[in-house]
A and B are shown apart, each in its own frame.
Chain A
């Protein structure tokens, strides 16, 4: 077990045959984890669609309570962060750890921008008694009873998504530390690629949430 610590930039772990095999395994592990993310959010989408078909008017009213402009702004922020993340993977694969570090930093700033916008949206809702639980809910604020369910899904889905953004920020800081220490090489970049995959999945979920919540 206690073999000397290997330099992961040039050598593979003991139970693999090659760096190539180790990288492919790690990447597939991340993909499988992304599959579980899709299924988990998928459950919420199932609930969303079912209640949407049950209470169509409430969904129209609910959508009008949200500001689509803020939603669109956040969409663009996330898309741009996806681009910088993808580019960070490219630079790491070329061995340019410093350039990658800057790109990951921009991605992190985008994540913060996203959360700031979210904060203003949430606090506005809660201020108007539009949080469907605890003692905050104000029934007179909406016309349809089902709107409560819409807002419930709004908070659950964007909340869980926001939680993933925060986890992503944590992962970014981890990457930045490792990039700064020059720990990656063109042959060893699984961590950067894995966080990238995670970040893109978070983006894809938002790609669906944006029209479903804000537009239609």
Chain B
């Protein structure tokens, strides 16, 4: 039988996401890290995305096939970005 996520978990997930959003805004607006602001913002966004994947989208309770589908997709996307960037920045 499928796993039913209780309201408490969903609420905690929402809380986590809001806290991370506040951190994103704060670090981007009031902490100057130069180049690393982008890296940090992407890192936080990835944490948020993972939170949504695992709890809201139930990947935590799901089978390996669906996990493999989504994470390999992200891998292929990384290749796409990586190789295109490789070309543009070695010209």
29 A-B pairs in the complex with CB atoms less than 8 angstroms apart: A27-B62, A35-B73, A38-B73, A39-B73, A42-B77, A42-B80, A43-B80, A45-B81, A46-B81, A68-B25, A76-B18, A76-B21, A79-B14, A79-B21, A83-B10, A83-B11, A89-B5, A90-B5, A90-B6, A94-B4, A193-B58, A207-B52, A208-B45, A211-B42, A212-B41, A215-B24, A215-B28, A216-B37, A216-B41
Q: Which of A38, A39, A204 contacts B52 (CB 8 A)?
A: A204
| B69 near A28: Cβ-Cβ < 8 Å | yes
- Kindly state the separation between the CA atoms of A130 and B13 in the bound complex, as whole angstroms: 37
Residue A34 is within 8 A (CB to CB) of chain B in the complex:
yes
Q: Which of A45, A86, A208 contacts B5 (CB 8 A)?
A: A86
- Kindly state the separation between the CA atoms of A76 and B57 in the bound complex, as whole angstroms: 18
| A83 near B66: Cβ-Cβ < 8 Å | no
Between A49, A79, A89, the greatest number of chain B beta carbons within 10 A of the residue's beta carbon is seen for A79
- 7 A-B pairs besides A31-B66, A42-B77, A193-B58 with CB distance below 8 A are A35-B69, A53-B85, A72-B25, A200-B57, A204-B53, A215-B28, A216-B41
| B77 near A207: Cβ-Cβ < 8 Å | no
* Count of interface residues, chain B, beta-carbon cutoff 8 Å: 46
Chain A residues with Cβ below 8 Å from B66 are: 27-28, 31
Name A's B-contacting residues (CB within 8 A).
23-24, 27-28, 31-32, 34-35, 38-39, 42-43, 45-46, 49-50, 53-54, 68, 72, 75-76, 79-80, 82-83, 85-87, 89-90, 93-94, 193, 196-197, 200-201, 203-204, 207-208, 210-212, 215-216
| A79 near B18: Cβ-Cβ < 8 Å | yes
- Kindly state the separation between the CA atoms of A68 and B49 in the bound complex, as whole angstroms: 20
- Kindly state the separation between the CA atoms of A93 and B6 in the bound complex, as whole angstroms: 11
- Kindly state the separation between the CA atoms of A203 and B29 in the bound complex, as whole angstroms: 22
- Kindly state the separation between the CA atoms of A201 and B56 in the bound complex, as whole angstroms: 10
Name B's A-contacting residues (CB within 8 A).
2, 4-7, 10-11, 13-14, 17-18, 21, 24-25, 28-29, 37-38, 41-42, 44-45, 48-49, 52-53, 55-58, 62-63, 65-66, 69-70, 73-74, 76-77, 80-81, 84-85, 88-89
| B25 near A86: Cβ-Cβ < 8 Å | no
Chain B residues with Cβ below 8 Å from A27 are: 62, 66
Query: How many Å from the CB of B9 to the closest CB on chain A?
Result: 9
| B69 near A53: Cβ-Cβ < 8 Å | no
Chain B residues with Cβ below 8 Å from A87 are: 7, 10
- Kindly state the separation between the CA atoms of A152 and B77 in the bound complex, as whole angstroms: 21
| B29 near A215: Cβ-Cβ < 8 Å | yes
Q: Which of A28, A53, A85, A89 contacts B88 (CB 8 A)?
A: A53
Q: Which of B13, B17, B45 contacts A211 (CB 8 A)?
A: B45
Q: Which of A38, A80, A82 contacts B74 (CB 8 A)?
A: A38
Query: How many Å from the CB of A96 to the closest CB on chain B?
Result: 11
